Amino acid sequence: MATQPIQDLKKLCIHTITTRPWSLSDAISHYAAAGVAGISVWRQAIEGQDPAEAGERIRDAGLAVVSLVRGGFYPAGERKDRQKAIDENLRIIDEAAAIGAPHVVLVCGAVPGQPLEESRKQIREGIEATLSHAESSAVKLAIEPLHPMYADSRSAINTLKAANDLAEAISSPLVGVAVDVYHLWWDPELEEQIERCGQMGKILAFHICDWKTPTDDLLYDRGLMGEGCIPVRRIRGWVEAAGFAGFNEVEIFSTVRWTQNQEQWLGEIIRAYRESS
Amino acid sequence: MATQPIQDLKKLCIHTITTRPWSLSDAISHYAAAGVAGISVWRQAIEGQDPAEAGERIRDAGLAVVSLVRGGFYPAGERKDRQKAIDENLRIIDEAAAIGAPHVVLVCGAVPGQPLEESRKQIREGIEATLSHAESSAVKLAIEPLHPMYADSRSAINTLKAANDLAEAISSPLVGVAVDVYHLWWDPELEEQIERCGQMGKILAFHICDWKTPTDDLLYDRGLMGEGCIPVRRIRGWVEAAGFAGFNEVEIFSTVRWTQNQEQWLGEIIRAYRESS
């Protein structure tokens, strides 16, 4: 059966990066006024602020804190740099606990030229080194597999299968997976790996946007749902069939959109969320 | 055991697109003078020319015709357009036979917004519709899996596993696979799928270049071997261990390199081939 369109905004979450020109205060007030239900907070949006106070402001506005974005970047050539990354991730977990985010999204990291299997080993070690702190903080860690075009420098975890394998190997109730349609839509094994992730109880987040043709930039040219070729609604159907009942998080990096009037942009996001998600 | 560096140029093939500013005649004379052993001919390099005569000129210069690039692009929304693609592929097979290329490289195609499984079905049907002509022409068809960043509009076949599955399903001695490090290097299953492809006797070609960090353009910013993060030599070792004894084909699309003096560029390719392949 075809997945039904979304009827309301109860599960709509927006990542602060999507409306990057806005301060956290601007984002909170505009999202809340528009009926958005949740917010995923990028760390730069709370830089220099008290995360606990930011969390209170968000909840006072009627919004849920859906996630803190982003931890990870564990691999490094030198041991001392890997330790630095672990220390930073411990601080990120503290921030997540303070702001009241149930999980941190992990962009796992990669070092150009370092063999991917070495980076993958370091990623596992990095996550495991923060597990007890995550547990005592009651903050989950969401491994986000990144598109293979980011395997050089951003993540050595590039398919949902790889993320599932890693989460399964770590085997902690604290560690799950973030499913982002931008990174994963092309994979012939996507449906089966979403099902597997659901069976493990490990789908922690669902991120949406679209893939434009042409894509003019590897990083900052993501599309709004409906502007591209990703079957967002169909993938949402798979995620829901796998038992996920959380937010649909709009995460769009777009140089073009960031130069646009952000109120108008928010309006377009909400329209696209209803029509094409 | 670590794969040994390349000692000579006996297996060095260059794709005409790599030195795009050169005419076919220029490419032939410069490649031959530099000791390059083979040439993979892009169709635009012989546009308006007699392919049989072009093949003779290549062989007269002491070069092998390694492949004709490229056929494919089977998927289309309308049946008549899919038939057009099949007709074009029949002509491409004729061209390959005329120029003396043992195989055609297939960029399989994709239609933005058409479900990938539909495109995959159309790709299989398109290849199968040309099989008897390929057989009578003694021209093989090499399915080239393309990087997932091209899944929107260039190919719905995006992993070596997908290409192996397709080649296995078609099950014809005419159909094999082209392994290109640029498209496949990130895949955790690469070594095992190269081994599988070798066991099926289906590795028809091996293409090399590098992935630069950062990559500034999705299409035209490939790097020279050694400029990026791809373990080219290691992957060559896997391909050779799988029984492949053919050419190492340098295929680089680079706007920057195409504006450079092409003789100097050819010299750099040969140095990088010895040092980093």
Interface predicted TM-score (ipTM): 0.96
Taking alpha carbons only, the member of A149, A223, A161, A160 closest to residue B113 is A223
Q: Name the pLDDT band for A153 (thresholds 50, 70, 90).
A: very high
Comparing CB atoms, the residue among A151, A187, A218 nearest residue B186 is A151
- Measured distance CA(A37)–CA(A12) in Å, rounded: 5
The confidence score (pLDDT) of residue A2 equals 86
Residue B212 · residue B230 · CB < 8 Å: no
Q: What is the pLDDT of residues A27-49, one digit of tens each?
A: 999 999 999 999 999 999 999 99
Contact list, A231 vs chain B (CB under 8 Å): 115
Residue B202 above 70 pLDDT? yes
Position A141 pLDDT exceeds 90: yes
d(CA A31, CA A25): 10
The reply to whether residue A215 touches residue B120, judged by beta carbons under 8 angstroms, is no
Rounded distance between C-alpha atoms, residue B169 and residue B176, angstroms:
11
Buried b (16+ CB within 10 A) or exposed e, A80-100: eebeebbeebbebbebbbbbb
With an 8 Å Cβ cutoff, are B211 and A120 in contact? no
Q: Give the closest of B186, B218, B229 to A113, CB-based.
A: B229
**What's the gap in Å between the CA of B268 and the closest CA on chain A?**
20
Q: What is the DSSP string of chain A?
A: -PPPPP-SSTTEEEEGGGGTTS-HHHHHHHHHHHT--EEEEEGGGGTTS-HHHHHHHHHHTT-EEEEEEEEE----SSHHHHHHHHHHHHHHHHHHHHHT-SEEEEE-B--TTS-HHHHHHHHHHHHHHTHHHHHHHT-EEEE----GGGTTTTBS--SHHHHHHHHHHH--TTEEEEEEHHHHTT-TTHHHHHHHHHHTT-EEEEEE-B--SS---SSSBPBPTTSSS--HHHHHHHHHHTT--S-EEE---BHHHHTS-HHHHHHHHHHHHHHH-
Question: Does the pLDDT at position A261 exceed 70?
Answer: yes
Contacts of B205 (CB under 8 A, 6+ apart): B66, B67, B103, B105, B142, B144, B177, B178, B179, B246, B247, B249
Of all residues in chain B, what percent carry a pLDDT higher than 90? Answer: 99
Distance between CA atoms of A171 and A192, rounded to whole angstroms? 20
C-alpha–C-alpha distance, residues A184 and B144, integer Å: 20
pLDDT at A277 over 70: yes
Structure tokens at A117: 């299997």
Q: What confidence score (pLDDT) does residue B1 get?
A: 67
CA distance B145 to A150: 18
Tell me which chain A residue has its CA closest to the CA of residue B229.
A113
What does the pLDDT average to over B202-208?
98
Mean pLDDT confidence for B61-74: 98
Which among B115, B147, B214 has CB closest to A148? Answer: B147
How does the average pLDDT of chain B come out, rounded?
A: 98
Report the pLDDT averaged over residues A43-68. Answer: 98
Q: Do B116 and A159 touch (CB under 8 A)?
A: no
Determine, for residues A152 and B218 on separate chains, whether the beta-carbon distance falls below 8 Å. no
Mutation site for B-interface testing, chosen from A184, A229, A238, A255 by largest number of B Cβ within 10 Å: A229
* Binary contact (B159, A112; C-beta < 8 A): no
C-beta of residue A106 within 8 angstroms of C-beta of residue A143: yes
With an 8 Å Cβ cutoff, are B112 and A213 in contact? yes
Q: Which of B115, B117, B213 sits opposite A152 (nearest CB)?
A: B213
Burial label for B138, CB within 10 Å (0-12, 13-18, 19+), is exposed
* pLDDT for residue B2: 86
Average pLDDT over residues B3-13: 95
Provide, as residue numbers in chain B, all residues whose Cβ is less than 8 Å from the Cβ of A120. 188
Q: Is B201 left (phi over 0), alpha (psi -120 to 50) or beta?
A: left
pLDDT over 70 for what percent of chain A? 100
Reported as a pLDDT band with limits 50, 70 and 90, residue A163 is very high
Cβ–Cβ < 8 Å for A40, A251: yes
Locate the chain A residue with the closest alpha carbon to B212.
A152
In this model, does residue A1 exceed pLDDT 70?
A: no
User: Which of B149, B162, B228 minimises the CB distance to A149?
Assistant: B149
Strand, coil or helix: B245: coil
Cα distance from B162 to chain A (closest Cα, Å)?
8
The 10s digit of each residue's pLDDT in B83-119 is 999 999 999 999 999 999 999 999 999 999 999 999 9
Average pLDDT over residues A242-256: 98
Single out the residue of B201, B160, B153, B154 nearest to residue B179, CA to CA. B160
Tell me the average pLDDT of chain A.
98
Residues of B in contact with A112 (CB under 8 A): 213, 228-229
- Threshold 0.95, pTM exceeds: yes
Ramachandran angles phi, psi of B111, nearest 5°: -115, 120
With CA atoms as reference, report the closest residue to A212 among B59, B60, B149: B149
**Which of A111, A120, A121, A186 to probe the B interface (max B CBs under 10 A)?**
A186
At a CB cut-off of 8 Å and minimum separation 6, what does B38 contact? B11, B12, B13, B14, B63, B64, B65, B66, B247, B249
Is the pLDDT confidence value at B141 over 90? yes
Q: What pLDDT score was predicted for residue A85?
A: 98
pLDDT tens by residue, B26-62 = 999 999 999 999 999 999 999 999 999 999 999 999 9
Chain B residues whose beta carbon lies within 8 Å of the beta carbon of residue A159:
188
